[in-house]
Chain A
Amino acid sequence: MNRALLPEMLHCTDMTVPEKQRARFKWQPEQQQQQPQDSFFGDLSGVFHLQQHQLQGFQGDLGEVVTRSVKPDPALMDNGWPDLVGFGPCGYGNNNGSGFDINYAISRTSSCPPAVAEAAVDAAVLANGREPVVSEKLSSGVGRESLKKRKIDKVQNNTKVVAEDDSRDKRIKGCGEEGESKFIEKNNNKSSTTSKNSNKENSAETSKDNSKVTEVQKPEYIHVRVRRGQATDSHSLAERVRREKISERMKYLQDLVPGCNKITGKAGMLDEIINYVQSLQRQVEFLSMKLAAVNPRLDFNIDNLFSKEAFPGCTTNFPAIGMSSDMTNPAYLQFNPVQQQQRQQQQQPQQQLVTCCGLDMGINPPDMGLRRTISAPVSIPEMFIESSCFNQIQASSTWDADLQNLYNVAFDQGRSTSFPPQPFTGAIEATNLKMEM
Chain B
Amino acid sequence: MTSIYQINSATRIRFARRFLISLSRMRRASTLGPPSDEEIRTRTRRIRIVSYSSMAFAVGSSRAWSRALVLKIRNRARFRGILRNKCLASKKKRVIKRHKVSREMSKTDMLRRLVPGGAGMGICGLLEETAHYMTCLATQVKVMQSIADHYSK
Contact = CB atoms under 8 A, between A and B. Distances in A.
Q: Do A and B come from one complex?
A: yes
Interface string B104-129: 00011011011110000001100110
Interface string B81-122: 000000000010000000000000001101101111000000
Contacts of A54: none
A238 B47 CA distance: 45
B73 A288 contact: no
A431 to B, nearest CB: 10
B69 to A, nearest CB: 8
Contacts of A249: 124, 127-128, 131
The secondary-structure label for the interface of chain B is helix
Contacts of A418: 41, 44-45, 48
B137 A280 contact: yes
Given A252-B5, A253-B131, A280-B138, A312 B124 contact: no
A285 B48 contact: yes
A32 to B, nearest CB: 30
B41 A437 contact: no
B98 to A, nearest CB: 8
Interface in A96-149: none
B145 A336 contact: yes
B37 A435 contact: no
A308 B114 contact: no
B130 A288 contact: no
A358 B102 CA distance: 42
Contact of B107 (A245, A267, A280, A416): A267
A294 interface: yes
A31 interface: no
Interface in B58-82: 69, 72-73, 76
Interface centre among A245, A267, A340 (most CB of B within 10 A): A245
Interface string A398-437: 0000000000010001001111000000000000001111
B115 A291 contact: no
B94 to A, nearest CB: 10
Contacts of A294: 148, 151-152
B2 A246 contact: no
A312 B137 contact: no
Size category of the binding interface on chain A: 35 or more
Contacts of B48: 284-285, 288, 418, 437
Interface size class of B (residues with CB under 8 A): 35 or more
Interface stretch (A62-70, A153-161, A182-190, A346-354): A346-354
A313 B142 contact: yes
Nearest to B145: A316
Contacts of B28: 295-296, 298
A91 to B, nearest CB: 32
Contacts of B23: 291, 295, 300
Nearest to B37: A351
A152 to B, nearest CB: 21
Given A253-B131, A296-B28, A312-B12, A287 B144 contact: yes
Interface in B4-30: 5, 12-13, 16-17, 20-21, 23-24, 26-28
Contacts of B114: 274, 277-278, 281, 434-435
A306 B148 contact: no
B60 to A, nearest CB: 18
A309 interface: yes
A103 B151 CA distance: 75
B31 A296 contact: yes
A202 to B, nearest CB: 26
A250 interface: yes
Nearest to A357: B152
B34 A288 contact: no
A281 B137 contact: yes
9 contacts: A273-B111, A274-B114, A280-B137, A291-B23, A306-B16, A315-B146, A334-B145, A336-B149, A419-B40
Interface of B: 1-2, 5, 12-13, 16-17, 20-21, 23-24, 26-28, 31, 33-37, 40-41, 43-49, 51-52, 69, 72-73, 76, 91, 107-108, 110-111, 113-116, 123-124, 127-128, 130-131, 133-135, 137-153
Sorted nearest first, the 3 A-B pairs with minimum C-beta distance are: A313-B142, A357-B152, A358-B151
